[in-house]
């Protein structure tokens, strides 16, 4: 049945448009304006054309070097935490109980780290991992391992990665668990009749059913880790040296620390474009999975 | 007229945004006058005109950045390349 179609319905969207314009579009336009100018404060701007962008994209300059270094650092960080959190999340989801009172208990327990505010997570780990008074840092040192995240870049990286895994693996696990719960018992019964091994059940029943939630999990974890700021800022402040200075920390240093609005604006635009491109790829993959599902609804 | 000096406008960026707003207006008019169906193109995904405009603009941004970072020289060449790219996106994607 055809529903009546009335373009005046679009008028109802206007308030949202106004809010988005006020909170996102106009500030973004201002950033674009900043990116082609230089300022010394006092709202006085001088035309700089594409100067900041040229400098930014040339790794041999100070600005370019900092931007590229933090970009590689950030990509490495995202790759590492994805490589740990996704398999670990799947493993945890597979081990979670399916029936009885334990389900509720596990779900609450798993959701706990997700409810902790980011700066609190940072503070917890900042103290927990300290070599002098923190339980973790002190214990590791007592075991005879020289560990100090304030002085050693490798230790700082390990601390931040373990913290992120602690904070976010349960998100991946909960998403996978939702995917696993949606598999009807008939699939497992059929597998049992066919004498399928545990690996075959995982590979041909559980993994395909989790594909969609896994893509969402990877998208969420990639975007979150690519834009991470609070936790490493609280724990290491980007140090020692610049070893844990990720993109957003570098950006804040530029914009608020040095008040280089032009450079920071140019960097935000490039940063934003990368995020936008990645989002588009993930979004397209996800919506096309939906389309595939609609075409083949019965036997998947 | 509200005071917009805080936004640090320049004629160039104003022209840039006017072009984008103009494109959006053209797309809106087209959508009303000539409604369209999604089609599947070279990428194997269903796209509308809006999707193709988005891809063109995003690609244009990256082409300009790549030109600044790798080639140097006048940006007009990057703009020309972007127009070719946009035409290809609208024709084939």
Closest residue on chain B to A42 (Cα): B6
Return the pLDDT at A279. Answer: 87
Name the residue among A43, A57, A280 with its Cβ closest to that of B65: A57
A288 touches chain B (CB under 8 A): yes
Sign, CA torsion A255/A257/A263/A269: negative
Indicate whether A68 pLDDT > 80: yes
Structure tokens at B87: 């035409």
Q: What percent of chain A has pLDDT over 70?
A: 95
Domain range enclosing B61: 5-92
The answer to whether A258 faces chain B, any CB pair under 8 Å, is no
Q: Is some CB atom of chain A closer than 8 A to the CB atom of B1?
A: no
- Residue B1's pLDDT band (cuts 50, 70, 90): low
Please judge whether A53 and B12 are an interchain contact, meaning their C-beta atoms are less than 8 angstroms apart.
Answer: no
For helices A153-181 and A207-226, the axis angle rounded to 10 degrees is 140
Classified as helix, coil or strand, B39 is: strand
> Domain-by-domain residue ranges, chain A?
62-295
Minimal Cβ distance to A291: which of B16, B46, B75:
B46
Per-residue pLDDT, averaged over A168-174, amounts to 94
Q: Does A53 touch chain B (CB under 8 A)?
A: yes
| Tens of pLDDT, residues A210-240 | 888 898 899 889 988 999 999 899 988 887 8
Residue A46 pairs with which residues in a beta bridge?
A38
Which whole number is the average pLDDT over A24-44?
Answer: 87
Maximum mean pLDDT: which of A40-54, A197-211, A286-300, B16-30 = B16-30
A214, A230 Cβ separation under 8 angstroms = no
Position A212 scores a pLDDT of: 84
Rounded distance, CA A259 to CA B73, Å? 29
Decide if pLDDT at B12 tops 80.
yes
DSSP B42-88: TTSSEE-HHHHHHHHHHHHHHHHHHIIIII-S-THHHHHHHHHHHHH
Confidence class for position B31, pLDDT limits 50, 70, 90? confident
Is B73 within 8 Å of B43 (Cβ atoms)? no
Q: Do B61 and A37 touch (CB under 8 A)?
A: no
Query: Which of A219, A284, A249 has the alpha carbon at shortest distance from A82?
Result: A219
The structural domain count of chain B equals 1
Which homologous superfamily does the CATH classification assign to the domain defined by A62-295? MetI-like (1.10.3720.10)
Work out the average pLDDT over B47-74: 89
| A111-115, A288-292, B42-46 — most confident range | A111-115
What HEC string does A195-263 produce? Answer: CCCHHHHHHHHHHHHHHHHHHHHHHHHHHHHHCCCHHHHHHCCCCCCCCCCCHHHHHHHHHHHCCCHHH
> Residue A238: its pLDDT value, please?
82
Q: Which residues of B touch A29 (CB under 8 A)?
A: 7, 13, 17
**CB-closest option in B8, B32, B65 to A34:** B8
Mean pLDDT of chain B: 88
Contact (Cβ atoms closer than 8 angstroms) between residue A263 and residue A254: yes
Smallest CA-to-CA distance from A130 within A118, A138, A122 is with A138
Contact present, A270 and B65 (Cβ < 8 Å):
yes
**In angstroms, rounded to a whole number, what is the distance separating the alpha carbons of residues A200 and A32?**
53
Predicted local confidence at residue A196, as pLDDT: 86
Select from B8, B61, B69 the Cβ nearest to the Cβ of A57: B69
Instruction: Return the SS3 of A46.
Output: strand
- Determine, for residues A37 and B75 on separate chains, whether the beta-carbon distance falls below 8 Å: no
Q: What pLDDT score was predicted for residue A77?
A: 94
Q: Residue A33: which of B8, B58, B75 has the nearest Cβ?
A: B8
Residue scoring higher pLDDT (A5 or A193): A193
Task: Report how far residue A223's alpha carbon sits from residue A272's, in angstroms, rounded to the nearest whole number.
Answer: 11
Q: Which of A143, A164, A139, A141 is nearest to A151 (CA)?
A: A141
Judged by a CB distance cut-off of 8 A, whether residue B11 touches chain A is no
Is some CB atom of chain A closer than 8 A to the CB atom of B17?
yes
Residue A299: pLDDT over 60:
no
Residue of B nearest to A47 (CA): B10
Closest CA to A80 of A156, A152, A161: A161
């Amino acid at each position: 049945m055809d529903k009546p179609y009335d373009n005046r319905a679009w008028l109802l969207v206007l308030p949202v448009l106004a809010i988005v314009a006020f909170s996102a579009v106009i500030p973004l336009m201002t950033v674009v304006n900043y990116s082609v100018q230089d300022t010394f404060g006092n709202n006085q701007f001088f035309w700089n054309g594409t100067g900041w962008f040229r400098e930014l994209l040339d790794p041999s300059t100070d600005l370019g070097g900092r931007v590229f270094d933090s970009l590689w650092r950030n990509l490495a960080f995202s790759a590492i935490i994805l490589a740990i959190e996704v398999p670990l999340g799947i493993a945890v989801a597979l081990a979670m109980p399916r029936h009885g009172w334990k389900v509720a208990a596990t779900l609450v327990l798993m959701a706990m780290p997700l409810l902790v505010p980011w700066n609190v997570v940072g503070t917890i780990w900042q103290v927990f991992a300290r070599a002098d008074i923190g339980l973790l840092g002190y214990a590791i040192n007592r075991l005879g391992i020289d560990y100090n995240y304030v002085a050693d870049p490798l230790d700082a990286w390990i601390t931040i990665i373990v913290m992120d895994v602690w904070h976010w693996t349960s998100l991946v696990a909960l998403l996978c668990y939702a995917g696993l719960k949606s598999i009807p018992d008939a699939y497992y019964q059929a597998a049992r009749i066919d004498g399928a091994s545990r690996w075959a059940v995982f590979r041909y029943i559980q993994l395909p059913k989790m594909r969609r939630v896994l893509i969402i999990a990877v998208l969420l974890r990639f975007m979150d880790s690519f834009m991470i700021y609070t936790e490493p800022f609280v724990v290491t402040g980007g140090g020692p040296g610049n070893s844990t200075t990720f993109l957003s920390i570098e950006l804040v240093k530029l914009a608020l620390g040095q008040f280089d609005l032009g450079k920071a604006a140019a960097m935000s635009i490039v940063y934003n474009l990368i995020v936008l491109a990645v989002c588009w790829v993930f979004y397209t993959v996800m919506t096309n999975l939906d389309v595939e599902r609609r075409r083949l609804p019965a036997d998947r | 007229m509200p005071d917009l000096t805080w936004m640090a406008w320049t004629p160039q960026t104003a022209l840039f945004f006017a072009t984008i707003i103009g494109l959006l207006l053209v797309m809106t008019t087209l959508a009303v006058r000539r409604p369209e169906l999604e089609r599947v193109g070279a990428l194997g995904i269903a796209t509308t005109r809006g999707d193709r405009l988005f891809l063109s603009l995003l690609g244009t941004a990256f082409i300009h950045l790549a030109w600044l970072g790798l080639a140097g020289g006048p940006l007009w060449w990057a703009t020309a390349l972007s127009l070719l790219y946009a035409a290809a996106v609208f024709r084939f994607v």
